[in-house]
Amino acid sequence: MSIKVKIINDPVYGFIRFPERELMQLIDHAWFQRLRHIKQMGLAHLVYPGATHTRFHHSLGACHLMGKALDELQTKGVVISEEDRLAARIAALLHDVGHAPFSHSLEHTLVGISHEKISRLVMQKMDTETGGMLGRAMQIFDNACPQKYLNQLVSGQLDVDRMDYLNRDSFYTGVSEGVIGYDRILQMLTVRDNELAVEEKGVYSIEKFIIARYIMYWQVYLHKTVLSAELLLINILKRAKQLAGQGKELFATPALSYFLYRNISEKAFINEPEHLNQFCMLDDNDIMVSIKVWQTHEDKVLSTLCKMLILRKLYKVVYNPGSLARNLRQKKDEVKSALKIDDELIEYFVFSGVATNRSYHTSGDVIKIETKEAGVKKITEMEDSLVNQTLAHDIQKKYICFVPF
């Protein structure tokens, strides 16, 4: 009898395999299938039209890379049980299962709880449904597995999440600056004292990886037009919730309506299961169709912002805008007289903020290099390291954001 193996064609990696029955069961679950309708890069496709790939695809990719990483470690003599292998693959598969629509953009707008915590709640619920299949995977997700390298591969500075999203996002955007040598990195992985380490000759690939992430942040994820679209989306939902709070009527899908008309704290979200049920009905499409309808809503703020998004007449974002305060005051005055809106609403049209990113953290779970001569060293301790001040500190860029009319 031939053995049935699920094979998926991934343009990034070629054919990828999911031979484990348990994985297929989780992939087929409605709560995982939901990720098909959540774009990995939110609204970045407004700038990079190819970037329409989803959390679903990314999660499969992360799970695939986990398998490759463990294969590599096993050829180097690390003993990994079948159970641990499956658990680590599950943890990688489900690490993003709790994402809100549009990934990070709406994370704190719709509900007051982080996507990681929601992912954990979903895993808990799936565990119950499957009769306890996810115990070990949750331990890894909780960073509590004694085989620390498994935790690190799921969530660390060199995890399969980052490796997949850099690969995938650069593939779908066409931004070659984000390309990493993931296959070389995988082949350089090793384990020392139960922790992940990298062979010395892989140091250049790791530096390249950290730099690629730095570049992707500033060239893509925090690109001024991408940032502008995300800020617009957040403001739209903020305004919609505000109007809902005032009892105004708003077209919405049932699941979106549920969250517009409620303010749900982290504690409430955890304690009342219906919140999670409703959350798992929500995806990008609910948001987009509602915004489309809101273009003709009687509230001028809401309808104006919605039209801006649908017609792609986004805010203008200026990074490092010289005299911030003066610029801001002037813009506000211009917009107020142009739009004829009240003082307390001007913040929907003119505001300032700070974009922040750090490419590498030098404390906590750092990347370790296994040298031939001097044992395990931190990557920042290597001679001629490229991971310097610029990469290891927060880079903060102030911006002002305003409607361009």
Residues 320-339 within binding reach of a copy of itself (CB under 8 A) = 320, 322
Q: Which is nearer to a copy of itself, 138 or 196 (CB)?
A: 196
- Within 10 Å of residue 273's Cβ, how many Cβ atoms? 11
Residue 397 and residue 354 in contact, taking contact as beta carbons nearer than 8 Å: yes
Q: Which of 255, 252, 263, 258 is nearest to 281 (CA)?
A: 255
Q: Which is nearer to a copy of itself, 127 or 200 (CB)?
A: 200
Q: Nearest 5 degrees, angle CA 232-CA 235-CA 237?
A: 110
Q: Nearest 5 degrees, angle CA 379-CA 383-CA 389?
A: 60
Q: Which is nearer to a copy of itself, 145 or 282 (CB)?
A: 282
Q: Restricting to residues 214-233, which ones interact with a copy of itself according to CB under 8 A?
A: 214-215, 218-219
Q: Restricting to residues 185-204, which ones interact with a copy of itself according to CB under 8 A?
A: 187, 190, 204
In the list 71, 81, 135, 254, the residue contacting a copy of itself (rule: CB under 8 A) is: 254
Separation of alpha carbons 190 and 209, rounded Å: 17
The side-by-side arrangement of strands in the sheet containing 350-357 is: 316-319, 395-402, 350-357
Site string for a copy of itself, 152-181 (x = CB under 8 A): -------------------xxxxxxx-xxx
Q: Which is nearer to a copy of itself, 268 or 289 (CB)?
A: 289
Site string for a copy of itself, 275-294 (x = CB under 8 A): ------x--xxx-xx--xx-
Q: Which of 312, 48, 310 is nearest to 174 (CA)?
A: 48
Q: Please report whether residue 79 would count as binding a copy of itself according to CB under 8 A.
A: no
User: Which ranges of 34-81 would DSSP assign to H, the alpha helix?
Assistant: 55-75
Q: Which is nearer to a copy of itself, 116 or 183 (CB)?
A: 183
| Helix, strand counts (H, E) of the chain | 18, 9
Shortest distance, position 337 Cβ to a copy of itself, whole Å? 26
Q: Please report whether residue 52 would count as binding a copy of itself according to CB under 8 A.
A: yes
In the list 184, 238, 262, 332, the residue contacting a copy of itself (rule: CB under 8 A) is: 184
Q: Please report whether residue 388 would count as binding a copy of itself according to CB under 8 A.
A: yes
How far the first Cα of the chain sits from its last, in Å, is: 68
Q: Please report whether residue 12 would count as binding a copy of itself according to CB under 8 A.
A: yes
Shortest distance, position 269 Cβ to a copy of itself, whole Å? 21
Q: Please report whether residue 48 would count as binding a copy of itself according to CB under 8 A.
A: yes
Q: Which stretch binds a copy of itself (CB under 8 A): 5-13, 103-111, 298-306, 339-347?
A: 5-13
Q: Restricting to residues 115-134, which ones interact with a copy of itself according to CB under 8 A?
A: none
Structure tokens at 9: 């064609």
Residue 149 and residue 194 in contact, taking contact as beta carbons nearer than 8 Å: yes
Q: How far is CA 28 from CA 23, 137, 255, in A?
A: 9, 18, 21
Q: Please report whether residue 45 would count as binding a copy of itself according to CB under 8 A.
A: yes
Q: Please report whether residue 238 would count as binding a copy of itself according to CB under 8 A.
A: no
Shortest distance, position 329 Cβ to a copy of itself, whole Å? 19
Residue 261 and residue 237 in contact, taking contact as beta carbons nearer than 8 Å: no
Q: Please report whether residue 3 would count as binding a copy of itself according to CB under 8 A.
A: yes
Please count the residues of this chain forming the interface with a copy of itself, following the rule CB under 8 A: 83
Q: Which is nearer to a copy of itself, 117 or 184 (CB)?
A: 184
Shortest distance, position 266 Cβ to a copy of itself, whole Å? 26
3-state helix, strand, coil in the chain (%, to 5): 55, 10, 35
Q: Please report whether residue 53 would count as binding a copy of itself according to CB under 8 A.
A: yes
Q: Which stretch binds a copy of itself (CB under 8 A): 62-70, 127-135, 212-220, 360-368?
A: 212-220
Structure tokens at 303: 């309808």
Shortest distance, position 309 Cβ to a copy of itself, whole Å? 10
Q: Restricting to residues 368-387, which ones interact with a copy of itself according to CB under 8 A?
A: 373, 383-386
Q: Restricting to residues 302-321, which ones interact with a copy of itself according to CB under 8 A?
A: 310-312, 320
Q: How far is CA 161 from CA 62, 66, 116, 158, 244, in A?
A: 5, 9, 13, 8, 36
Separation of alpha carbons 69 and 159, rounded Å: 10
Place of tokens 């774009």: 39
